[in-house]
Structure 1
Amino acid sequence: MFGRNTTVLTATAAAAIGGWAPAAADTAPLPVPYGPAASYAHVADATTPPPGANLAGCAGPAPHPHPVILINGMYLTQGAAWNTGAPLLHNAGYCVFTFNYGNPVPLAQFPLQQLTDLRAAARELATEVDRVRIETNSDTVDLVGYSQGGVLAQYYINVLGGNTKVDKLIGIVAENHGMTAGPLPAPLDRAIPPMTQLRRGSDFLNEIYADGDTRPGADYTVIASSTDPVTAPYEHTFLDGPGVTNVLLQQDCDLDHSDHESALYSPRVWQYVLDALQPDAASPVPCVEVAPASS
């Protein structure tokens, strides 16, 4: 599920990361690990959120009025997926929420999540959005979806009318217009609905984009990597429409070799996420070395 040596940080990267933690004056910044190692502790209990997420009484004061909901990718639990993103966003002053969806068994602690029908999963996302809006007294939320999670957000916005409740959607290596093939043998592939639903040309994807890639009301940022074999060619990740910003990690940075896994822990990816959440305070993203998870 996770590779080793996911992210290689140079001194320049470390300095840049140090600038991403403007926590409240009376709160020490949480550690932000850039790699999958910290996620292993969460695999055994899917109900444990990552540090900085799901904090009681969190409300998003200016300049971060919208709570941020992080949406896992296939197989991942909330804790395993967001040990980089959740503490980083918390340190930056955001109210962060994570949750599990698509549990294939009646056991909340099951270590593999997001394996069931994506239309049903989108309804779970809709419930979570409404829950967070009520808890934080917010009209809209921001969504950050990794891989399958980004496509799920697209279904919620385009098909279930979620565009009225979402201010920003940020997709990290999301299979927006489908993947070419699944990583599993054919029998297992067919047994897991998302593997078929995320294939290019599927009925599920055709339903999402029947009336175009985007809907009014939300701003979109799509982060893609030319070295990601799951979404290859990377152009299939990009969206077309008003309010869309498509980002290629390798543009102006030949050192970035992010694949599908390592993008989740990349310091460059998370700088782009921060810039998308608050574009008025965007800063240049440094070009630093990022190794693929398979290295």
Structure 2
Amino acid sequence: MAGVLDSVNQRTQLVGQNRLELLLFRLDGKQLYGINVFKVKEVLQCPKLTHMPKSSPIVRGVANIRGGTIPILDLAMATGSAKLGSIDNAFVIITEYNTKIQGFLVHSVERIVNMNWEDIHPPPKGTGRDHYLTAVTRIDNQLVEIIDVEKILAEVAPVSENISAGVVTEEVAHKALSLRVLTVDDSSVARKQVTRCLQTVGVEVTALNDGRQALEFLRKLVDEGKKPEEEFLMMISDIEMPEMDGYTLTAEIRSDPRMQKLHIILHTSLSGVFNQAMVKKVGADDFLAKFRPDDLAARVVDRIRAADIS
């Protein structure tokens, strides 16, 4: 697996073309799983693990990697299976989600494949363990499952969803009652987190599951003669989504004169400085890392004040 991510910087050119690259791996059997390469910092043979008392059983231990102490999560256990047996020959995928670094313990790592988001689909109803799936695809006639990592992390290390006192004033809360916000995210956990945060601010929330669904929703709106910027205070969209990613969704909205005035914030667990450049390239108004309730609420509050609603 040495060198598997050597050209990761070159892969940033995929962003904005509705494409991604998946790192394929296996857990406890023949089933293939995938993770977006942009979330992967390193792949290595499982290092020596130190057990942490009182930690979740899913956390098999911590490892000292490049001078930092990183929790190592058993991804098989996290998705409802038995824990991986011998880890002597196992691998750890070091990832960064929501500005936090953690390792995922897996049985084996396969290869990287270049994909189009249009070939990534929401999990079908009734799919086994779909409680932890955010998307599926097929590669060489084999089903590849993409795990809802945000759900796993929320269960292992829950983050506070509370908004600090003073972020939302009584005046802003009153103005918010007449406003709606459109949110787009394929993760059920992320949708609920964002929705609860926005409802605390006071706005009404319309939540959709992916970029394709959001674009069709907005096009139907304008076909009815409505203006999205008048219907919604803003759109808060994830970047990684099946069918159509947030970058492509934003570019499509900006290319349509009927909806291009809609205020757009890209809200993602993806890390990396390239995000800021892509925000400008596709025409989004802002970029926000997940999940920081105060930051998200503050962005909405700023928009409410700018809208000058009486």
Normalising by the smaller structure, the TM-score range is 0.3 to 0.5
**Please, what TM-score do these two structures have when normalized by structure 1?**
0.36
* Larger RCO: 1 or 2 (CA < 8 Å, sep 6+): 1
Question: Greater Rg, structure 1 or structure 2?
Answer: 2
**Please, what TM-score do these two structures have when normalized by structure 2?**
0.34
